[in-house]
Structure 1
C-alpha cells in the first residue's frame, strides 16, 4: 500500500513547491494576467457598446433612408401628376387650336363658295341678257322687214312715250 499513499515528506515538499509557485505566480503572473483579462473584458465591453451604437446608428440611417424614399416617392408622384396635367393641357390646347383652325377653314371655304356662286350668277345673268338681246334682235329683224311694220312700231312707241 505504500505505493498508493504518499509519504509525509513528499506531501511537505509538494506543499512548499505549490506555495512557492503560488507566490511566484501571484507576484509575477497574476497582475499581468488580471490586467490582460481586465483589458480583454474592457475591449469586449467596448466592442459591445460600439456594436450597440452601430445598431442604433443603422436603425437611424434606415429610418432616414425610408423617410428619403417616401419623400422621393411623393416628389415622383407630384412630378407625374404635373406631367399628366401638362400633357392634358397641351392636348386640350391642340384641340382648341385645331377647332379654331377648322372653323377658319370652313368659314373661308363658305366665303369662297359664296363668291364663286355670286360670280357664276352674274355670269349667267350676263349670258341670259346677251341671249335675250340676240333673240329680241332676231325677232325684231324678222318682224320689221317691211316698212309698214316699222312705221307701226314707231307710232306705237311714240304713243307710249307721250302717255308716260
Structure 2
C-alpha cells in the first residue's frame, strides 16, 4: 500500500475521475434511459401477462361454471323428456289395453248373442220337429185306434175311466 501512495499522481486521478464521470454521463444519456425503459416495458409486459393470465383464469372459471350450468340444464331437459316419453308410453299402453279389452268384451258379447240366437233357433226348430213328429204319431195312433168300431168303444170307455179316476 505504501507503494500505491508513492506512485499516486493527482493529475492522473483527476483525469480518470473526469473520464469516469463522462462515461457515466454518456451511459445515463444514451444507455441508461433505454435500459430503464426496456426494464419498465418488460415489467409492464410481465404485469400485463399476469393480469391477462388472471383474467383468463377467471374467464375459464366462469366458462366452466356456465358449462356446468348448461350441462345441468341439458340433463334436466333430458330427464323431463324421458319422463314425458314414459308417461306417453304408459298412456298409449293403457289406451291400447282399454281398446283391446273393449273390443274383446264386444266380441264376447256378440258371440254370446250369436250363441243365444242359435240356441233359440235350435230350440224352436226342435219344438217344431217334435210337434210335427207328435202330430204324425198321434195321427197314426188315432187312425189305427179309430179304424175299428170296437176299438173306438174301448178307447172311449178307457178315456172315461181315466177321467173319472182323476
TM-score grouping bracket, smaller chain normalisation = 0.7 to 0.9
Could you tell me which residue of structure 2 aligns to residue 86 of structure 1? 88
- Decide which of 124, 127, 130 is 1:125's aligned counterpart: 127
Q: Secondary structure at the match of 2:106?
A: helix
Runs of 4+ deviating beyond 2 Å: 11-23, 144-150
Pairs aligned (count): 153
- Decide which of 35, 44, 47 is 1:45's aligned counterpart: 47
Could you tell me which residue of structure 1 aligns to residue 137 of structure 2? 135
Could you tell me which residue of structure 2 aligns to residue 65 of structure 1? 67
- Decide which of 107, 110, 113 is 1:108's aligned counterpart: 110
1:96-149 Cα deviation digits (max 9, x unpaired): 111111111111111000000000001100110111011111112212223565
- Decide which of 22, 25, 28 is 1:23's aligned counterpart: 25
**TM-score, normalised relative to structure 1:** 0.79
**TM-score, normalised relative to structure 2:** 0.78
Matches of 1:123 and 1:21, distance apart in 2:
146
Could you tell me which residue of structure 1 aligns to residue 58 of structure 2? 56
1:8-50 Cα deviation digits (max 9, x unpaired): 46x8466555443322211111111111111111111111111
1:46-70 Cα deviation digits (max 9, x unpaired): 1111111111111111111111111
Matches of 1:101 and 1:15, distance apart in 2:
121
Structure 1: give runs of 5+ residues left out of the alignment: 157-164
- Decide which of 96, 99, 102 is 1:97's aligned counterpart: 99
CA RMSD of aligned residues (A): 2.9
Matches of 2:72 and 2:8, distance apart in 1:
84
Matches of 1:112 and 1:55, distance apart in 2:
83
